[in-house]
A and B are shown apart, each in its own frame.
Chain A
Amino acid sequence: MTDIALNPAAVSARPARRDIGLKRRYAAERRFRLYGIIAIAIGIFFLFALLYSVFSNGYTAFWQTEVNLSINLDPKIIDPDNKRATDPNVLLTANYPLLARNALAEKLGVSQSDKPGLRELGKLFSDGVRGQLRELVAGNPALIGTTQNVWVLTGADIDSAFKGQIDLSVDQTRRKVSDKQVEWMNKLKGEGAMAQRFNTGLFTYGASSRPETSGLSVALIGSLYMMLIVLCLSLPIGVAASIYLEEYAKKSRLTDIIEVNINNLAAVPSIVFGLLGLAVFINFLHMPRSASLVGGLVLTLMTLPTIIIATRAALRAVPPSIRAAALGIGASKTQMVFHHVLPLAAPGILTGTIIGLAHALGETAPLLLIGMVAFVANNPVTPLDPATALPVQIYMWANEAERAFVERTSGAIIVLLLFLAVMNITAIILRRRFERRW
């Protein structure tokens, strides 16, 4: 501005440029843009950091170290008093780990008199061998006395060492596997008798205090039941409520209250639904604790607002001309809605439902309150049996101290994320494939 008070000669010669601070302003522009790029970079960085942390910790959980043993099913150890014909409990309570230890001692040449050596040897394989051999023998008692070639799970620490997750360079007193065990491990590995095999146990075992024999089966079944309950209840109820609000209801005080309620319920913290479930379903209606039925009901109430909002949007997207045409050729209002509007809105409703289900599948907090944090070892048969859910199982494993559980937790998270990815991708494909622009 100061340049304007100037001598006329200079003006006529060459108009002075007004200083409008372009340089500074362009710098500010560039900075502003940079902030945006940095912000997006931070978001994407954390996305990848999170996924990397989960996958790098978890991909090994899908393989478990096992050792191949030729186990002599010695009748003297299984049934020392020779009573198995009369007492079926003998086969259930026999000392199966001893059989595995003897087989391993023979293989590695540890003498039966070397007690400390035998004790360390016993830690090489998992105590899960008890159940494994029991099933084998009880299923076919004729095997007693024969020698069977069996793949047996190793202990969790050996598994970690085999996968290279334990730093073997530190002194052996400061790590969980001794030098001797490492030596045996390498020997067995060299012979091909110890190897990593696909971890079917992760999907077939229930809860266990030992990492190597704990799995997701109870959680998967529980989550499946809950998803079925949520689907069967929240889809019809949500669609019915949306149809009423969108197609029938005149604007009245009642519909106003319902709408405000639905919007509020969508924003209520999920843990509050857990409190509701605890107070109403368990304390008042005396439904069983830890049951997937209660979990399903709580998640239904939580998912309803999502489904209602999506369904209403889908119904609103159907153009009024369709309704007018249907009414014009003599359809009743109900026929118009159910024969014409609803089928056209179905893809949108389905997409919203799948997204709501995916949300419900990942929900943890309300399930903690209705007692789904339970140690459930046996697979639930009906929705009334105690069960856990996939995210709750992750929470329970995350609270375990052992290193091997971190691996399992990450593995479980990978399973959960895969389910969610499949559901969301299905929703996107449905939307792309069937969405109509009017």
Chain B
Amino acid sequence: MSTSLVFVIVVAIGVVGYFLGRQRAVGKDNGSIKAHSLPHYHGWWVFLASALPAILFLALWAGATSIYLERSAIAELPAHTADSVIASQSLELGMVSGIARGLDKLTSEEKANLPQTFAELRPLLSSKGVALAPDGQDFMIPIAVEWNKNSVRASTIGGGIALVLALAGAIFGISGVHVRARARNNVERVILAGLIAASTIAILTTVGIILSMLFQTLTFFQSVSPTSFFFGTVWDPRFAAAGSGGSQGQFGLIPLLAGTIYIAFVAMLFAVPVGLFSAIYMAEYASRNVRSVVKPMLEVLAGIPTIVYGFFALVTVGPFLRDLSAAISGGYAFIMAQSVLTAGIVMGVMLIPFVSSLSDDIITAVPGSLRDGSLGLGSTRSETIRRVVLPAALPGIVGALLLTASRAIGETMIVVLAAGVAANLNINPFDAMTTITVKIVNQLTGDLEFNSPQTLVAFALGLTLFFITLAMNIFALYIVRKYREQYE
């Protein structure tokens, strides 16, 4: 019995239970005693009592089954693979489960005279639409057959228990229907539990991010020492040919970190003056009409996906800067098409709306009485802004700039297309440099096996990135809270 069929039956039992419960509640209500809950609450309670435990059980059972299947398959795998590296064991497991999935699709007649060698089995399975890698072994076939048997047994037992649970729940729910039964409270308690569960997903996500990256990073640090990662100045992961494994690359974080900070710095150098001055102009000078046209236009910049900015840098800005530099020096293009400058400028354009809309909010939040006081003393508007409004808004603006900078550091697609992949350590903004995010993408695209330091380093980089941006965000919040002026 397949799990999805059981699921459908369980839900069907629940739906039938809903109607029976409601009907029973209506029948019980003869008007002499005031009913506690409306009939449909009784129906819902029967539905929840029958479907919810059964569905939860099914989910748990499915998880337990897959663990059990893997355990029993590992126990049967020949000894020589049991003590080899975990990756090859997981590869073999993947193979076995692949064969098992393929065997599932065979007709009973084909199953009866199953080929004994993998070489014969493979074309048969691929004719059923299950393509397998050619390195399967003959000994895997009986294990796969056993796997299927176990899985059928497990799903039969689980399905049976789930159905019993659903029926028992339905009977329990229906028998509990009477006029004073507190069905509404029961239903509302379940709803509240659901709401709490939904709001813990945010915590689970953060925990998941930290734990998943931490585990991979620790594995990475088993083969590369933390000091050579954090303080190494050479990035040369040297993709080893499959199986050789001897040559160790160098995984120095410093060039990537330098590139990340440099590009973010150039971007901020561009975005902060532009964004801040546009915010000031829009908050203090612009008429309502100008504001209603210009503000949405700048917000459009924020809505454009970063991949589009990356393409803009690659196709337009990069070649333009290169040709410009060639025209200036008369032939030799000293600005490369992929350079810190290109990535920085385009990223700066992307950041303009963030700086301007955040600062705009903060500047408008400065109370008008401060402005009026300053203007009344005879200062000009710009003097008011520079000496009164901006100092009052400063903590908020610094916080906004920190948030913007953390966005610049975590930005990926622009730098992937515009900054280049060479991990250089230099200070020439016209040369290519690379960033942490680019290297994460480089190390993890394409075919990968999960045990080599070349791929695991991406998680160490990701964790570093996560903590850098986290620190900046927390620092921004701290500054805003500590130095915020309370006016009202």
Considering only residues 384-398 of chain A, those with a C-beta below 8 Å from chain B are 391, 394-395, 398
Residues of B within 8 A of A275 (CB): 209, 212-213, 440, 444, 458-459, 462
B185 → chain A closest CB, angstroms: 8
B443 closest partner in A (C-beta): A369
- Inter-subunit contact A271/B380 (CB<8 Å): no
Asked whether any CB of chain B lies closer than 8 Å to the CB of A305, the reply is yes
- Inter-subunit contact B212/A276 (CB<8 Å): yes
Contact check: which of A42, A245, A358, A364 meets B199 at CB < 8 Å?
A245
Interface residues on B, range: 35 or more
- Inter-subunit contact A258/B304 (CB<8 Å): no
- Inter-subunit contact A365/B441 (CB<8 Å): yes
- Inter-subunit contact A29/B382 (CB<8 Å): yes
- Inter-subunit contact B465/A57 (CB<8 Å): no
Asked whether any CB of chain A lies closer than 8 Å to the CB of B450, the reply is yes
Which listed segment binds A: B115-123, B188-196, B244-252?
B188-196
Contact check: which of B315, B356, B465 meets A406 at CB < 8 Å?
B315
Whether A39 touches B441, Cβ cut-off 8 Å, given contacts A265-B206, A305-B202, A391-B305, is no
Once the chains are docked, how many angstroms separate the CA of A417 from the CA of B311? 13
- Inter-subunit contact A264/B188 (CB<8 Å): no
Residues of A within 8 A of B352 (CB): 42-43, 46
Which listed segment binds B: A99-107, A142-150, A175-183, A235-243?
A235-243
Contact check: which of B202, B382, B417 meets A398 at CB < 8 Å?
B417
- Inter-subunit contact B382/A301 (CB<8 Å): no
- Inter-subunit contact B206/A39 (CB<8 Å): no
- Inter-subunit contact A365/B294 (CB<8 Å): no
B282 closest partner in A (C-beta): A40
Interface size on A, residues (CB 8 A): 85
- Inter-subunit contact B445/A373 (CB<8 Å): yes
- Inter-subunit contact B412/A53 (CB<8 Å): no
Residues of A within 8 A of B200 (CB): 258
B413 closest partner in A (C-beta): A364
B299 closest partner in A (C-beta): A424
B393 → chain A closest CB, angstroms: 15
Which listed segment binds A: B222-230, B272-280, B336-344?
B272-280
B197 closest partner in A (C-beta): A240
Contact check: which of A28, A53, A236, A268 meets B382 at CB < 8 Å?
A28
Asked whether any CB of chain A lies closer than 8 Å to the CB of B370, the reply is no
Residues of B within 8 A of A332 (CB): 184, 188
8 closest A-B pairs by CB: A269-B410, A36-B281, A362-B305, A39-B277, A240-B198, A279-B212, A32-B382, A241-B199
Question: Which residue numbers of A lie inside 8 Å of B, CB to CB?
Answer: 25-26, 28-29, 31-33, 35-40, 42-44, 46-47, 49-50, 53-54, 57, 236-238, 240-245, 248-249, 257-258, 261-265, 267-276, 278-280, 283-284, 301, 304-305, 308, 332-334, 358, 361-365, 368-369, 371, 373, 391, 394-395, 398, 406, 409-410, 413, 416-417, 420, 424
Question: Which residue numbers of B lie inside 8 Å of A, CB to CB?
Answer: 184, 188, 191-192, 194-196, 198-203, 205-206, 208-209, 212-213, 215-216, 273-278, 280-282, 285, 294, 297-298, 300-301, 303-312, 314-316, 349, 352-353, 356, 380-383, 385-386, 403, 406-407, 409-413, 416-417, 437, 440-441, 444-445, 450, 458-459, 462, 465-466, 469-470, 473-474, 477
